[in-house]
Chain A
Amino acid sequence: MERHFDEELRDLHQDIIKMGTFAEEAIARSVEALRAQDKVLAQSVIDQDVRVDDLEIIIDEKCLDLIARHQPMARDLRFIATGMRLNAELERIADLAVDISERVLDIADKPLIKPLVDIPRLSVIAQKMVKTAIDSFINRDGELAKGVILMDSEADTLKRNIEHEVVHGYIVKDGSVAPRAVPLILISRHLERICDHATNIAEDVVYMVKGEVVKHHPERL
């Protein structure tokens, strides 16, 4: 039986997809700005973050409104609760893309201390995790979401490798490279945090679809 409520839920679903698209775009552009050392592109990520902030407030208000008016239960409740959490996660992802862009502005005028190898790899994983997490939400696919959670360890390993390489391969040997080296460490951390947020989204999607709490319970995957 189609309910009037379903139309409002679809509207919320569309808004969350739009939020996901904004977040994905922000990561893609910040990563491209880093690759191309493109300050204009980096600045555009920072400038466009206001779209994400505005949409975050709209989605939050819609979720609260739906809860207040419809007192949702079961899968409707799980969907709205997940929508609220995804909203916050996606906003943080977009903020981290802004952080990456700010680091790009810090280093764009200076030569790189080394060719970037692992950071592009990490950025590919981060983008893939975010995209897959959002796809799992769109398609209500718990198994796809579980796959995202399993990708996170690779991101953690790459971040540790990058930190180790930059600190011990460059900063320890020559402290004067620190202003160009530290932003690379920060960028790797930002990317790794994006992966963590994608993991959170995936955990929330598993709950939304299956009603199972897998957060902090890797054995349930």
Chain B
Amino acid sequence: MAKIVTQDLKLWYGNFQALKSVNASFEAQMITAIIGPSGCGKSTLLRVLNRMNDLTEGVRTEGQVLVDGNNILGDGADLVTLRKKVGMVFQRPNPFPLSIYENIAFGERIHTGRVKRDVMDEIVERGLKSVLLWDELKDKLKSSAMSLSLEQKQRLCIARLIAVKPDVLLMDEPCSTLDPQATARIEELMYELKRDYTIIIVTHSMQQAARISDDTGFMLLGELVEFGKTKDIFTAPKDKRTEDYITGRYG
């Protein structure tokens, strides 16, 4: 079942058209990878899915982005609810300069206000367990999140998102700063998380897209050239541009 659908989605930064009539369907409880060369519009597409682009000056959109059937680009869209429902993990892990505990508790405090200590303890424990950090960190919850390794920070950021119970996790190059072992562990985590979440990942690594995603979209110059099952895209793509890119012949 489609969780997010884009219909004839166009986006401009000033006079520059970054997305050209993108029609895509992101399935629930699946990982969808968006690949393409730098500047192709893949991060723009990701960011429009929870309206992060609103923060950029001169952005204009046309078309629709339906999340659970509701157009989030419409005037009445509630951005706080949207960003709770559709969370984003960034390229560089960006924990708050707070304790590990407070990083997870932060979202709940914002969205719910005052929360009883034992309820919050449970939220923090559940969040850290969901990203397999609990056993490592349960005895140093008061330590600064800034003292963690890059991989732990990225896991913590994912836990921080999960704590506010989103439906969709957007991931923009979440492993680009990690070594191969840490990357493998984050990928395993993503595989675990897809049971409960819709995951959309932008990645420069075609091997990563091939390894972890169920569906893959290839973008070029703002156009979604091809979208389909990952196994088809990486074995027998239909569009020559896709084939040239994934076989390294592009350019």
Which A residues have a C-beta under 8 Å from some C-beta of B?
1, 3, 5, 71-78, 210-212
Nearest Cβ on chain A to B204's Cβ, whole angstroms: 14
**Nearest A residue to B236, CB-CB:** A211
**Nearest B residue to A211, CB-CB:** B236
**Nearest A residue to B250, CB-CB:** A1
Interface residues of B in 185-240 (CB under 8 A from A): 206-207, 210, 234-237
Nearest Cβ on chain B to A76's Cβ, whole angstroms: 5
Interface residues of B in 150-175 (CB under 8 A from A): none
Across the A-B interface, give the 4 residue pairs with the lowest CB-CB distance, nearest first.
A211-B236, A73-B246, A74-B243, A73-B234
Q: Tell me, yes or no, whether B249 is within 8 Å of chain A by CB.
A: yes
A211-B251 contact, Cβ under 8 Å, with A73-B246, A74-B246, A75-B243: no
Nearest Cβ on chain B to A212's Cβ, whole angstroms: 8
- A–B Cβ pairs within 8 angstroms, 26 of them: A1-B248, A1-B249, A1-B251, A3-B248, A3-B249, A5-B248, A71-B207, A72-B247, A73-B210, A73-B234, A73-B235, A73-B246, A74-B234, A74-B236, A74-B237, A74-B242, A74-B243, A74-B247, A75-B243, A75-B247, A76-B247, A77-B235, A78-B235, A78-B236, A210-B236, A212-B236
With a cutoff of 8 Å between Cβ atoms, the chain A residues found around residue B249 in the complex are 1, 3
Count residues on chain B whose CB falls below 8 Å from chain A CBs. 15
- Please report the C-alpha to C-alpha distance between residue A73 and residue B242 in the assembled complex, in whole angstroms: 11
11 further interface pairs, Cβ-Cβ under 8 Å (given A1-B249, A3-B249): A1-B250, A5-B248, A72-B247, A73-B210, A73-B246, A73-B247, A74-B234, A74-B246, A77-B234, A77-B235, A211-B235
**Nearest A residue to B246, CB-CB:** A73
**Nearest A residue to B237, CB-CB:** A74
- Please report the C-alpha to C-alpha distance between residue A73 and residue B210 in the assembled complex, in whole angstroms: 9
- Please report the C-alpha to C-alpha distance between residue A147 and residue B186 in the assembled complex, in whole angstroms: 48
Nearest Cβ on chain B to A157's Cβ, whole angstroms: 34
With a cutoff of 8 Å between Cβ atoms, the chain B residues found around residue A1 in the complex are 248-251
With a cutoff of 8 Å between Cβ atoms, the chain B residues found around residue A78 in the complex are 235-236
**Nearest A residue to B251, CB-CB:** A1
With a cutoff of 8 Å between Cβ atoms, the chain B residues found around residue A73 in the complex are 206, 210, 234-235, 246-247
With a cutoff of 8 Å between Cβ atoms, the chain A residues found around residue B246 in the complex are 73-74
With a cutoff of 8 Å between Cβ atoms, the chain B residues found around residue A71 in the complex are 207
With a cutoff of 8 Å between Cβ atoms, the chain A residues found around residue B206 in the complex are 73
Nearest Cβ on chain A to B242's Cβ, whole angstroms: 8
Nearest Cβ on chain A to B211's Cβ, whole angstroms: 10
Nearest Cβ on chain B to A7's Cβ, whole angstroms: 13
- Please report the C-alpha to C-alpha distance between residue A166 and residue B242 in the assembled complex, in whole angstroms: 56
With a cutoff of 8 Å between Cβ atoms, the chain A residues found around residue B236 in the complex are 74, 78, 210-212
